[in-house]
């Protein structure tokens, strides 16, 4: 039985809600003020808190703030007077799931409460945090905070807004929320808002009926219908045009859609997760994003830290991607040299985890041995550093590794092999690819050169 705590200083309101909700099959407990409510929240589990705002002592908004801090997964529905819409906006701003307005409309109450308690879990999962998300790597406190939020919000029906720079893992986290939700068996439908032209948006999202416009030869389900019972992932939400923003707001408020060309309204039961790499507050100030839509979407906001803020996770991520790509590419590159890792630790990753992943993938693809070396890292800053080094080493045209730590890491045999390879390539270039002359230059026999060229599979270098 779903358990609800109702907080109101007016006895008649408590009685009214108590009778109504008990009749609907909920288990109802009441409290006359916020203080009592907090005590009750401590001593028993509730799936929903309904609270009045204006009460003597602690206000409903203050109660909301405390609850959001202590138990962000608990949905809170605020009661506001019809005459004070600013309370409602404030409530949504502070993380309320929704609000109901006085005087009460029974149907409204029922529908808000039904959706607030849908899918809420009786008992929160207790798995170890980072183990619960094997494909999201990180043990920094910034990431543990993310895991904790994801774990708590996943089983609730609350809409989530994930924001952070490009490549920080927003889609990965959205998928994780869905996978840990009560509707994991139902569809997860990613929708890239920026990829759909405005004139097609409505029909793409809400569907259309046959004949509603030229080209509509069949009835077509929209993406929101496809997501029925599951999760719609609205990616790049900051790119939505004002008209679509208004339509989406209506969907979130009414939980219903009208396919293009249809007069029939359809109820939808979809959880929304949105993502953006824009700062939506700035978009709101600039008048480009609707504030009311923002609060509907960002019931629980999750900020993903940039990789710069959690450099400590770089070695773990490198390890993870080394394994991933050496398996994928059928290679044995399982290590990174300490100097190469040091270069990565000093890099600021404007492209975040995606950029690191690409760097390691390229490194693995290009490396012939089992270790990633500085020159296998193709990153802008490294490029500059390597060029500098090349200049410093007397313009020989090839870079040398000068750090002894680095050399020990690689091992003597490999170091010698590298030098051999570089010198042979250099000699071949100098001699216009004549093995005879190159051997002379290298002061080794022709046979020995031919053997080494084969051993290191040195291709004929492009000549000058
Ligand atoms: N913590 C992480 N652990 C492992 N892989 C990660 C992590 N974060 C991101 N990735 C990987 O980095 C790549 C980019 O992640 P994702 O697509 O989720 O980023 P995004 O934030 O949605 O970026 P954008 O804003 O550019 O769309 C993906 O291949 C993803 O698997
Ligand atoms: Mg993305």
For position 443, what pLDDT does the model report? 86
Residues with CB under 5 A from ligand 2 (ion): 170-171
Give 187 Cα–ligand 1 centroid separation in angstroms.
21
Give 71 Cα–ligand 2 centroid separation in angstroms.
28
C-alpha to C-alpha distance for 21 and 409, rounded to whole angstroms: 69
C-alpha to C-alpha distance for 248 and 239, rounded to whole angstroms: 13
Asked if 22 and 52 count as a contact pair (C-beta separation under 8 A), the reply is no
Residue-wise pLDDT for 142-156, tens only, equals: 998 899 889 888 988
Q: Who contacts 414 (Cβ-Cβ below 8 Å, separation ≥6)?
A: 369, 371
Give 152 Cα–ligand 2 centroid separation in angstroms.
22
* 423, 429, 435, 436 alpha-carbon torsion, rounded to 10°: -100
**Which of 64, 149, 77, 80 is CA-nearest to residue 116?**
77
Minimal-distance CA residue to ligand 1 atom 16 = 169
Minimal-distance CA residue to ligand 1 atom 24 = 166
Q: Who contacts 438 (Cβ-Cβ below 8 Å, separation ≥6)?
A: 424, 427, 428, 430, 431, 449
Phi and psi torsions of 98, nearest 5°: -170, 180
For position 319, what pLDDT does the model report? 93
Phi and psi torsions of 257, nearest 5°: -135, 160
Asked if 207 and 248 count as a contact pair (C-beta separation under 8 A), the reply is no
Find the residues whose C-beta lies inside 6 A of ligand 1: 136-138, 164, 166-172, 277, 353-354, 357
For position 127, what pLDDT does the model report? 45
Query: Token digits for 275?
Result: 């993502």
For position 130, what pLDDT does the model report? 67
Query: Token digits for 177?
Result: 């929320």
| Pairing status of strand 160-163 against strand 98-102 | unpaired
> Given the CA of residue 173, which atom of ligand 1 is nearest to it?
18
Residue 52: strand, helix, or coil: strand
Phi and psi torsions of 72, nearest 5°: -60, -15
| Cα dihedral across residues 75, 80, 84, 87: positive or negative | negative
Residue 262: strand, helix, or coil: coil
For position 418, what pLDDT does the model report? 80
**Which of 194, 209, 286 is CA-nearest to residue 244?**
194
* 315, 321, 327, 328 alpha-carbon torsion, rounded to 10°: -170
For position 367, what pLDDT does the model report? 78
Q: Among all ligands shown, which has an atom nearest to the Cα of 277? A: 1
Minimal-distance CA residue to ligand 1 atom 9 = 169
Give 172 Cα–ligand 1 centroid separation in angstroms.
6
Give 352 Cα–ligand 1 centroid separation in angstroms.
8
| Cα dihedral across residues 125, 131, 137, 139: positive or negative | positive
For position 143, what pLDDT does the model report? 92
> Given the CA of residue 304, which atom of ligand 1 is nearest to it?
21
For position 403, what pLDDT does the model report? 65
Minimal-distance CA residue to ligand 1 atom 10 = 169
> Given the CA of residue 276, which atom of ligand 1 is nearest to it?
25
Residue-wise pLDDT for 293-346, tens only, equals: 999 999 889 999 999 999 999 999 999 999 999 999 998 888 898 888 988 998
Minimal-distance CA residue to ligand 1 atom 27 = 166
Q: Among all ligands shown, which has an atom nearest to the Cα of 162? A: 1
Give 18 Cα–ligand 2 centroid separation in angstroms.
44
Q: Among all ligands shown, which has an atom nearest to the Cα of 349? A: 1
Minimal-distance CA residue to ligand 1 atom 12 = 354
**Which of 382, 460, 383, 380 is CA-nearest to residue 425?**
460
C-alpha to C-alpha distance for 415 and 426, rounded to whole angstroms: 17
Q: What is the pLDDT along the chain (464 residues), one digit of tens a residue?
A: 899 999 999 998 999 999 999 999 999 999 999 999 999 999 998 999 999 998 989 999 999 999 988 888 899 999 887 667 677 778 887 888 888 887 788 888 888 898 888 755 443 443 456 678 889 999 888 998 899 889 888 988 899 999 999 999 999 999 999 999 999 999 999 999 988 888 889 999 999 999 888 888 889 999 999 999 999 999 999 999 999 999 999 999 999 999 999 999 999 999 999 999 999 999 999 999 999 999 999 988 999 999 999 999 999 999 999 999 999 999 888 889 888 898 899 899 999 999 999 999 999 988 777 888 888 888 775 555 655 555 554 444 344 445 677 777 777 777 788 888 888 888 888 888 888 889 998 988 888 888 888 888 887 766 54
C-alpha to C-alpha distance for 212 and 186, rounded to whole angstroms: 29
211, with CB counted inside 10 A (0-12, 13-18, 19+), is exposed
Q: Among all ligands shown, which has an atom nearest to the Cα of 170? A: 1
- CB atoms near residue 411 (< 10 Å): 12
Minimal-distance CA residue to ligand 1 atom 25 = 166
- Which of 353, 358, 361 to probe ligand 1 with, by most ligand atoms within 8 A of CB? 353
> Given the CA of residue 165, which atom of ligand 1 is nearest to it?
25
Query: Token digits for 100?
Result: 């109901």
- CB atoms near residue 149 (< 10 Å): 20
Quote the radius of gyration of the chain (alpha carbons, Å).
Answer: 30
For position 310, what pLDDT does the model report? 94
Give 138 Cα–ligand 1 centroid separation in angstroms.
12
């Amino acid at each position: 039985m779903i358990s609800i705590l109702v907080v109101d200083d007016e006895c008649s309101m408590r009685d009214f809600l108590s009778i109504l909700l008990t009749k609907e099959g909920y288990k109802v407990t009441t409290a006359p003020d916020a203080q009592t409510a907090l005590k009750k929240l401590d001593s028993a589990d509730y799936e929903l808190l309904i609270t009045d705002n204006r009460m003597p002592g602690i206000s409903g908004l203050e109660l909301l703030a405390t609850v959001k801090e202590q138990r962000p997964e608990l949905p809170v529905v605020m009661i506001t007077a019809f005459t004070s819409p600013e309370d409602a906006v404030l409530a949504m701003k502070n993380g309320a799931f929704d609000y109901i307005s006085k005087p009460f409309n029974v149907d409204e109450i029922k529908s808000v409460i039904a959706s607030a308690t849908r899918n809420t879990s009786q008992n929160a999962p207790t798995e170890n945090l980072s183990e619960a998300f094997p494909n999201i790597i990180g043990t920094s406190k910034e990431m543990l905070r993310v895991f904790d939020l994801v774990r708590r919000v996943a089983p609730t029906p609350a809409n989530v807004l994930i924001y952070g720079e490009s490549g920080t893992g927003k889609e990965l986290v959205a998928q994780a929320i869905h996978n840990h939700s009560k509707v994991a068996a139902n569809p997860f439908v990613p929708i890239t808002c920026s990829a759909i032209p405005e004139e097609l948006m409505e029909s793409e999202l809400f569907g259309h009926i046959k004949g509603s416009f030229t080209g509509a030869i069949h009835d077509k389900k929209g993406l929101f219908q496809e997501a029925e019972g599951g999760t719609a992932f609205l990616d790049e939400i900051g790119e939505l045009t004002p008209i679509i923003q208004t339509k989406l707001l209506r969907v979130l408020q009414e939980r219903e859609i009208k396919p293009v060309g249809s007069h029939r309204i359809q109820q939808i039961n979809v959880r929304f997760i949105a993502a953006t790499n824009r700062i939506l507050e700035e978009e709101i100030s600039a008048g480009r994003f609707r504030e009311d839509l923002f609060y509907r979407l960002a019931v629980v906001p999750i900020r993903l830290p940039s990789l710069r803020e959690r450099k400590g996770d770089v070695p773990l991520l490198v390890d993870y991607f080394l394994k991933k790509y050496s398996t994928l590419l059928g290679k044995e590159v399982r290590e990174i040299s300490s100097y190469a890792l040091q270069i990565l630790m000093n890099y600021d990753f404007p492209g975040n985890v995606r950029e690191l992943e690409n760097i390691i993938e390229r490194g693995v693809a290009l490396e012939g041995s089992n270790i990633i070396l500085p020159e296998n890292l193709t990153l802008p800053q490294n490029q500059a550093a390597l060029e500098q080094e090349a200049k410093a080493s007397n313009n020989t045209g090839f870079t040398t590794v000068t750090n002894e730590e680095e050399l020990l890491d690689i091992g003597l045999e490999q170091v010698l092999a590298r030098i051999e390879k570089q010198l042979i390539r250099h000699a071949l270039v100098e001699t216009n690819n004549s093995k005879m002359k190159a051997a002379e230059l290298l002061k080794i026999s022709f046979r020995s050169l031919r053997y080494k060229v084969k051993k290191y599979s040195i291709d004929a270098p492009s000549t000058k």
